[in-house]
Amino acid sequence: LFACVWMVVGVVSLTVLQVQISNFFYQISQERKRAGKDLFQLFNKIDKNRSGELDKYEFLTFCLAEYGLVSDEDIDTINNEFERLDASRNGSLSMHEVLGKFDRIRAAAPLSIRQSIVHPAHSGRRTLQSKE
């Protein structure tokens, strides 16, 4: 009985050690990714109007990239999609342009996923809505 208790304690301790080691190496890899980025180049890539300043949404993009939450490829893809959807070329998207794009994507999703999509209702409440 005494040996069983020590075996359980040993297994739990080893598991905790493995988790800590994994977290340590993950943090090192994230820091290396961040350190390898040229901040000046990242700033200039995100500063679309070349003003030398970031507006609120440019700063949001900068932080997402700096903290490794999105890749440069993700940012490029999103910016290209914006340009494609901006039919009027005025630098902004109308509700019709945005909803048209994402309604098509949601309509193509399987029924199980569509049933779990949450849309804000006109009353301000959030409701489940399914498209069939």
- What does the radius of gyration of the chain's CA atoms come to, in whole angstroms? 23
More confident residue, 35 or 63: 63
Please give the pLDDT value at position 120. 45
pLDDT tier, 16 (very low <50, low <70, confident <90, very high otherwise): very high
Please give the pLDDT value at position 121. 45
> How confident is the model over 83-130, as pLDDT tens digits?
888 888 888 888 888 888 777 777 776 665 555 555 444 444 443 343
Angle between helices 95-108 and 72-85 (to 10 degrees): 120
Mapped to the 3 state alphabet, what secondary structure does 50-89 carry? Answer: CCCCCCHHHHHHHHHHHCCCCCHHHHHHHHHHHHHHCCCC
The 10 Å Cβ neighbour count of residue 114 is 16
pLDDT of 66 higher than 80: yes
| Region 13-34 average pLDDT | 83
Please give the pLDDT value at position 110. 66
